[in-house]
Amino acid sequence: MDTKVQASQYASLSVKLWPPSKSTRLSLVKRMTTNLTMPSILSRKYGLLSKEEAEDRSKEIEEEAFATADLHFEKEPDADGSSAVRLYASESSKLMVEVLKRGPTVKQNGEGLMLEKLTATDGNLFDISGGRRAFIDAEEAEQLLRPLSMPHNSYTRICFSNRSFGLEAARVAEPILVSLKDQLTEVDLSDFIAGRPEAEALEVMSIFSSALKGCKLRFLDLSNNAMGEKGVNAFEGLFRSQNQLEELYLINDGISEEAARAVCDFIPSTDKLRILHFHNNMTGDEGAVAIAEIVSRSPSLEDFRCSSTRVDSEGGVALAEALGSCTRIKKLDLRDNMFGVEAGLALCKPISRFADLTEVYLSYLNLEDEAAIAISNALKESAPSLEVLELAGNDITAEAASALAALIQAKQFLTKLNLSENELKDEGASVISEALEAGHGQLIEVDMSANAIRIAGAKALAEAVANKSGFKKLNINGNYISEEGIDELKDIIPHVLGPLDENEPEGEDDLDLEDEAEVDDDELESKLKGLQINKHE
């Protein structure tokens, strides 16, 4: 083809806005999830959705809006797909309003009768998290919390999650909690101020902090409260009085570097801490240094989660060095950060000492072959009872396959292996398959999706797991397997082959032109960025 003509075709294709890429669609789902859990006129009237329900509804909305816009584009294609993008956004907004007007879903029992659990009492547990997620006022708080105010009650664990406390409700709870100071050991205040204005939410947090100050807690969950530094400061009294904590959860709390530093400064002792979760915050490198300080003084740590926290190389190295003090680690989750090779290499030293490690999640860390090989070698010499291994999305090629295979071969207790979204191709898949063939009687799931694998590598994987009695799923979606190849795979493993809806039967040969025609995500994002719920609906 004439290069000028080819260049002209590429230029014309590169400006298309429709269809959006997978990453753009996922980004829209995340944005809608946020919108569906934010306070609005509709949420105050019909109730707030839980984060889990908002995620499910957002996925359904996006799929329906995409289908509508895609049909429009097929029938009336315009030059760049901009009208389809506008329809995609407007349909999403309209469907969000409909979801909010329906309110949170209330489950039904087996006979079809409406069932709403207001309060659960199980031995020493008092739990009001069941039922509809909604605001509670003073009157309802008095009714709900009455069992806690009864003399000589035996409650040591309380869960106020999923109910939004305002000032009046918090003032009802305050004297009750003060009366329980000497007996409470577990407190769950996750998602307990949803939809409240910032000033009110901060005052509510301060009231609860003051009321619970001095409790000898072993378990504290303050997740899903969008606390930020101000919220952490509001809980200063409670934090400073805790020297017996064994479990601390600060998930999805807007923990910035300043907030992380405050948590580090406020908690007086963490030598008993076994579980520490910081998932989905905006901690960054400086915040990671503060978290690393908490980790370094937590020799009893068994379960550490610092995933999706925007930590780069410097913070990753700090965390890796701090983990050197934690020889009892059983579960390590550092997924979805920007560690890079340097931080990946730094992880090798502590990992080589984790004799009790059973689950390790190191996906989406930009490890590349160099760090992936080093970590594989370190894990091979430690963690004899490793059950879960995740190294997805790390730009790993067939060059690292031998080291990975040696690691896999050594870990005969593996139940789940995830190496998806790498570049292992047929060569790497075949080497991994050989390692999986012998033994591995407890293996139930292997994910090798999106690895540029063709039929040869796919068949090798299928044959490697075909005779494992408890095996449940082989995911090889998003690869380059021919239609004939798919039929062969179905003959080998008919019941455990995962979906293949994103498979590219034509393979890589046709991808060059598609790469040039990639949707301009930045431009499409700008068109979808303003998507929000119409407050006047």
Indicate the range of 47-61, 207-221, 244-258, 444-458 predicted with least confidence. Answer: 47-61
Least confident of 71-75, 104-108, 221-225, 315-319: 104-108
Whole-number pLDDT of residue 269: 87
Mean per-residue pLDDT, 418-444:
97
Span 236-246, average pLDDT: 96
Lowest-pLDDT range, 58-67, 133-142, 508-517?
Answer: 508-517
Give the separation between CA 405 and CA 436, rounded to whole angstroms: 8
In the predicted structure, residue 408 carries a pLDDT above the cut 60: yes
Angle formed by the axes of helices 340-351 and 313-323, nearest 10°:
0
6 pLDDT higher than 90: no
CB 173 within 8 A of CB 145: yes
Size of the chain, expressed as the number of residues it contains: 537
Where residue 281 falls among pLDDT bands split at 50, 70, 90? very high
Provide the greatest CA pair distance for the chain.
Answer: 88
Confidence at 111, pLDDT banded by 50, 70, 90: very low
Name the average pLDDT for the chain: 87
pLDDT score of 486 more than 90: yes
Share of the chain above pLDDT 90, in %: 68
- pLDDT of amino acid 39: 61
Structure confidence at residue 120 (pLDDT): 54
114 Cβ partners below 8 Å, 6+ apart? 106, 108
Beta bridge partner(s), residue 187? 158, 220
Does position 535 have pLDDT exceeding 60, yes or no? no
Query: Residue 410 pLDDT more than 90?
Result: yes
Which stretch of DSSP H or E encloses residue 248? Answer: strand 247-249
For residue 29, what pLDDT is reported? Answer: 86
Q: Say what the pLDDT of residue 524 is.
A: 58
CB neighbourhood size of 150 (10 A): 9
Among candidate residues 531, 434, 514, 436, the one with its CA nearest the CA of residue 19? 514
pLDDT value for 59: 86
pLDDT at 219 over 60: yes
> pLDDT (tens digit, 9 = 90+) per residue, 15-32?
577 888 887 888 888 888
* Segment among 94-108, 208-222, 484-498 with least mean pLDDT: 94-108
User: What domains does the chain contain, in order, with CATH numbers?
Assistant: 22-102 (1.10.246.200), 396-506 (3.80.10.10)
Instruction: Name, in order, each residue with C-beta under 8 angstroms of 6's C-beta and a sequence gap of 6 or more.
Output: none
User: Among 109-118, 152-161, 397-406, which is the least confidently predicted range?
Assistant: 109-118
What pLDDT is stored for residue 489 in this prediction?
96
Residue of higher predicted confidence among 464 and 19: 464
Q: Is it the case that residue 523 has pLDDT exceeding 60?
A: no
pLDDT for the residue 19: 85
- Does pLDDT of 316 surpass 80? yes
Residue found by looking up tokens 């204005």 in the block = 197
Q: With bands split at pLDDT 50, 70 and 90, how would you rate the model's confidence at 105?
A: low
Above 80 in pLDDT, residue 521? no
pLDDT in tens, 288-314: 999 999 999 999 999 999 999 999 999
Give 379's contacts (C-beta < 8 A, 6+ positions apart). 351, 357, 360, 386, 389, 407, 411
Distance separating alpha carbons of residues 79 and 63, to the nearest angstrom: 23
* Per-residue pLDDT tens over the stretch 342-374: 999 999 999 999 999 999 999 999 999 999 999
pLDDT number for residue 511? 41
* pLDDT given at position 112: 29
pLDDT of residue 104: 67
Structure tokens at 35: 């919108």
pLDDT given at position 512:
41
The alpha carbon torsion through 314, 315, 317, 323 (nearest 10 deg) reads 170
**Which is higher by pLDDT, 304 or 67?**
304
pLDDT of residue 46: 56
**pLDDT tens string 367-397:** 999 999 999 999 999 999 999 999 999 999 9
Q: Which of 71-75, 163-167, 313-317 has the lowest mean pLDDT?
A: 71-75
Q: Quick one: pLDDT at residue 526? A: 56
Strands 473-475 and 331-333: unpaired
pLDDT of 325 reads: 95
Cα dihedral: 239, 242, 244, 249 (round 10): -20
The tokens describing 15, both together, are: 């400006």
pTM: 0.75
Residue 513 has a pLDDT of 36
